[in-house]
């Protein structure tokens, strides 16, 4: 076979290792007993080490040097292979394995520490995660010609650096400073309806969530819905694992969590099957991934049209007088809150901005891990005017840092902005989109997304896909216009 065909086979095998690790990671969060944590950490470290070893093998470098690919997707596939090889060869295998072990150990401690709001219990483990992450980021940054933090950001979303993100976030901070008090004043003047009190049985919530997820297009012949401490989407394109958490006093949190993760899952299930297990067949980064979850959850499901469909459905399921007005108050109320995953879409970017700045400070050493709780509280006070009453509702609320995922957070708000931009383009292309949403029919929207985003895989970058789908690169004005129309008029 040709050098390029040999590379495709090698990357197919590497992808299989990564898929196995993804399923083990899901199991650790959703099914594994606590006693399995140490062994699971070792299993995942070995798999990460094997993947790293295959990428760094001398013959891999030789084959990459010899390979020539035709134009089009094959050419992009080869480019992404070379980038993956460069990243892998920059990092020693023992560091890669140490990072995985430290992340698994820290995450296990975090689960207990979060429940008891005990930052001191996890501080030492987090300090080790940050140390190892910093070591890897410095090495990777030198190899790629990037700052250490930008090297980490590029692992999650290529093509957007920290300076560009800072400009976008600073612009939004100024918008929020003016828009948030206006939105709060309008809400207060209008009054509100409320949802009836619970309980909302967990089993009924789960059945309704699954029904809506399937109605949005998720194929449950190749997917599961389970429970975890933090909602996520994992697994593989043909074996999707989504999770949520239930609160019998509030069915909306779990429902929106499932529909958010369904957006992620639809992206994975609709990636180009002909390029499965090749770099070019993967999603185009996590900002693009977040755009797909948020266009489903925030743009479509929380729209007037979809809520008119959801209200009677939920009323029937729970046997309670659930109204559109009540759902709007619960799902579209702007409120300064402590928990990122429960934040409204106007204040949510403030939570991301806080983390974006803190994780850069942690990485450079400008912020010691021991000082994180205080810095967190001061930062949230500056952005939203509130201070968390405890660390469970402060710096312990997210899994990301404790699992070693530093550099991911910018993707959330970049994705929210891309979702608004994509939705504006979809509305132009689909004049009766609201009519479909009013029937609970997301097929027109997800079909448009499949053609313009999902099926593109990584054949183009984040901004290139946006240009082709919407006519321009990422433009925060679409997000601001969406928020203005929904909350300020």
Active-site annotation holder among 261, 268, 297, 345: 261
Residue 106 near residue 405, CB atoms below 8 Å = no
Two structure tokens written together for 228? 């975890």
Instruction: Quickly list DSSP for 391-438.
Output: GGGTTTS-STGGGT-TT-THHHHHHHHHHHHHHHHHHHH-TTHHHHHH
CA 108 – CA 47 distance, rounded (Å):
19
CA 369 – CA 351 distance, rounded (Å):
19
Two structure tokens written together for 58? 């001398």
- In the block, residue with structure tokens 């993100």: 165
Q: Is 345 part of the annotated catalytic residue set?
A: no
Residue 384 near residue 336, CB atoms below 8 Å = yes
CA 451 – CA 58 distance, rounded (Å):
39
Query: Residue 240 forms beta bridges with which residues?
Result: 223, 235
CA 434 – CA 430 distance, rounded (Å):
9
For the chain, counts of helices (H) and of strands (E): 20, 3
- The string over 294-321, giving b where at least 16 C-beta atoms fall within 10 Å of a residue's C-beta and e elsewhere, is bbbbbbbbbbebbbbbbbeebeebbebe
CA 214 – CA 481 distance, rounded (Å):
30
Q: Which strand (E) or helix (H) includes residue 227? A: strand 223-227
Catalytic residues: 261
């Amino acid at each position: 076979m040709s050098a390029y065909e040999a590379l495709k086979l090698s990357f197919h095998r590497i992808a299989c290792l990564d898929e196995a690790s993804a399923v083990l990671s899901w199991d650790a969060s959703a099914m594994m007993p606590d006693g399995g944590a140490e062994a699971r950490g070792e299993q995942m470290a070995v798999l990460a080490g094997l993947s790293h070893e295959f990428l760094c093998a001398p013959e891999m470098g030789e084959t990459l040097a010899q390979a020539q690919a035709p134009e089009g997707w094959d050419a992009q596939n080869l480019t992404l292979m070379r980038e993956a090889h460069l990243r892998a060869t920059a990092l020693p295998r023992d560091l890669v394995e140490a990072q995985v072990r430290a992340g698994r150990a820290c995450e296990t401690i975090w689960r207990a520490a979060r429940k008891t709001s005990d930052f001191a219990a996890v501080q030492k483990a987090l300090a080790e995660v940050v140390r190892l992450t910093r070591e890897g980021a410095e090495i990777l940054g030198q190899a790629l010609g990037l700052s250490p933090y930008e090297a980490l950001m590029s692992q999650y979303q290529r093509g957007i650096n920290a300076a560009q993100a800072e400009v976008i976030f600073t612009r939004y901070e100024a918008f929020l400073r003016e828009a948030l008090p206006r939105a709060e004043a309008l809400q207060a003047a209008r009054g509100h309806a409320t949802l009836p009190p619970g309980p909302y049985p967990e089993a009924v919530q789960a059945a309704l969530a699954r029904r809506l997820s399937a109605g949005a297009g998720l194929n449950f012949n190749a997917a599961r819905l389970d429970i975890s401490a933090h909602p996520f989407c994992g697994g593989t394109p043909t074996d999707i694992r989504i999770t949520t958490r239930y609160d019998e006093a509030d069915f909306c949190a779990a429902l929106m969590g499932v529909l958010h993760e369904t957006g992620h899952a639809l992206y994975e299930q609709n990636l180009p099957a002909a390029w499965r297990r090749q770099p070019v067949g993967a999603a185009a980064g996590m900002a693009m991934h977040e755009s797909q979850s948020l266009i489903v959850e925030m743009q479509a499901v929380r729209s007037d049209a979809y809520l008119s469909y959801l209200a009677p459905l939920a009323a029937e399921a729970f046997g309670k007088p659930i109204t559109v007005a009540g759902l709007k108050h619960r799902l579209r109320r702007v409120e300064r809150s402590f928990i990122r995953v429960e934040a409204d879409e106007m204040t949510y970017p403030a939570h991301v901005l806080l983390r974006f700045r803190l994780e850069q400070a942690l990485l450079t050493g400008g912020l010691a891990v021991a000082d994180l709780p205080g810095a967190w509280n001061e930062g949230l006070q500056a952005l939203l005017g509130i201070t968390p009453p405890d660390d469970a509702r402060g710096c312990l609320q997210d899994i990301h840092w404790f699992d070693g995922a530093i550099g991911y957070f910018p993707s959330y708000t970049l994705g929210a902005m891309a979702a608004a931009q994509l939705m504006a383009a979809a509305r132009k292309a689909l004049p009766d989109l609201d009519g479909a949403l009013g029937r609970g029919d997301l097929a027109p929207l997800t079909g448009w997304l499949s053609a313009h985003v999902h099926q593109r895989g990584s054949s183009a970058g984040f901004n290139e896909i946006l240009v082709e789908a919407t006519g321009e690169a990422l433009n925060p004005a679409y997000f601001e216009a969406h928020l203005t129309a929904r909350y300020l008029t």
